[in-house]
Structure 1
Amino acid sequence: MSEQIAPLFTQILMICDEEGLIGRNMFAIDGCKIKSNASKEWSGTFEELERKQVKLEKASKRILSRHQSQDDMPEDEVAHDLKQKEKLDKSAAKIADYLATKKEKLGSKGKPRLFTSNNFHYDEEQNACRCPAGKTLWEQSKKIEYNSKSYVRFTGHLKDCRTCPLQNQCMRNPPKSVGRQVQFSLGSNANKLSFTDKMWIKIDSPIGRRQYSKRLGTIEPVFGNITVNKGMNKFTLRGQEKVNAQWQMYCLVHNIEKLRNSLH
């Protein structure tokens, strides 16, 4: 679907540009929260799903035990319980099949915490660096300029990193061609402002506040039209590619509406 919508979206956007609907005076970037097509019932870690599977199996066994102890139950109750048991067994089997065929995806909480530059010992006067395992790193770059600040970079010797007992805590993957790299901010950065700091100062200025206030009237009406007037308050598809295509489709409709209003 995205293969058909993406070029059409671009075509409509180009027509809007030809009609002068893109002013090029101000571009505003913002975001809004839209519900996804996901079920909390089937979300969670492998451990949580295993507990849910056990719970479903126990509920199914309780129904069976109740039937065995009460042979004189009415037929309608028996039919209802059997239907409920079938539903529980089906859900438990679905979880079991998922756990057996899928690998657990570790989120930010499940990933082991890797060593940061704070775990390395850097002597700025001696221009030397040691890793948590006590090995000396070599200076790869004396001065790296990034975001208006200067850094020095050290790299671990490949032979040390390959045999290091702390490798799992230091590197995401076993080293192949280069050892662990780490960089430190130089002392001369104390009086330098980053691009982020400069932007905060710019926005907080009288001119910046006036420009920033225009964002509300530029981008918010778009979100309001799409989510309220067009009813796009929840994604009905799953997967990033399909969700992006669905969002592009609604943006396409929004642009067609603006194009129609400009021509009439």
Structure 2
Amino acid sequence: MSGTFDELGRKKAKLERASKRILERHQSQDNLSKEQVNQDLKQKEKLDKSADKITQFLATHQEKTGSKGKPVKSNITDPDSAKMTTSKGTIQGYNGIAINDDKHQIILQAQVWGSVGEQQTLQPAVAQLKQQLAQVSQNPQLTKQHTKFTADSGFNSEENLEFMAQSGFDTYIADNQFRKRNPLFKASETYETEQEKRRLKRRNGKPRLFTSDDFYYNETTQTCRCPAGNEMWRSGINVKSHHQQYTRFCGYLKDCKVCPLQQQCMRKPPIKTGRQVQFKNNDSRKKRSYMDKMKVKIDSPKDNNLL
């Protein structure tokens, strides 16, 4: 029997009402056969037993919540498990998570978690991994710095990426849209969404051109990367335009000429200069999230430790 605490409370009340109706029927009818009486008593005993089981469970357990703080269903027989949707339907079970050393094929940490989503398991799993490394490594801090930690896109979230950025590991967790940005998958129908197909049809097959919001500008270091991950050079400071001062960057011509994203970036093939982009000085651009930073790191052809 599963449900949130509120659902279980309603189920308990329903069971108690059904048990009460059996007792009321017996009190109002004296001509029931012995066989009917025994059958009803067995049914009443079963209902009372289920209701008592819910009562005991609600009194001895705390309600579980999901990643968004909302109550999730609990199973009174196996309260540590969770209802999970799989390719074979909804099951009552666990998420099995393992962290292994890819080079030596050694499992460093393994645990099962009774949670609905695997995103919630990353932080406790990494915390346990740190404990393991502290026990087996003479210099755990140095070990973390030289370790590349990878996980599939199911673990990608702002909270998890912020946690990993502070963990000391060189982390790579792609988002579930990274294939759409990867030139290697550009010609693949598998990763082309129906929505994007409709947009291309409306624009006669022309993709949306990148704007300054698609470029990765670091105001502190005064550096910029294009959507393809290539470095750009600063071509101007305090450039005046429309009574506003800008910092301007330009892509290297050698990069822009062979860039697989050229059609999305420039209206015409580059001849003399690469793509130019400018940003307002002292502009209150929104702070880049950890998910944005991870996109830059995943999309970049080089390891630049951008997180």
Q: Normalization by structure 2: what TM-score?
A: 0.26
Higher RCO (Cα < 8 Å, 6 or more apart): 1
Name the structure with the higher helix share.
1
Name the structure with the higher strand share.
2
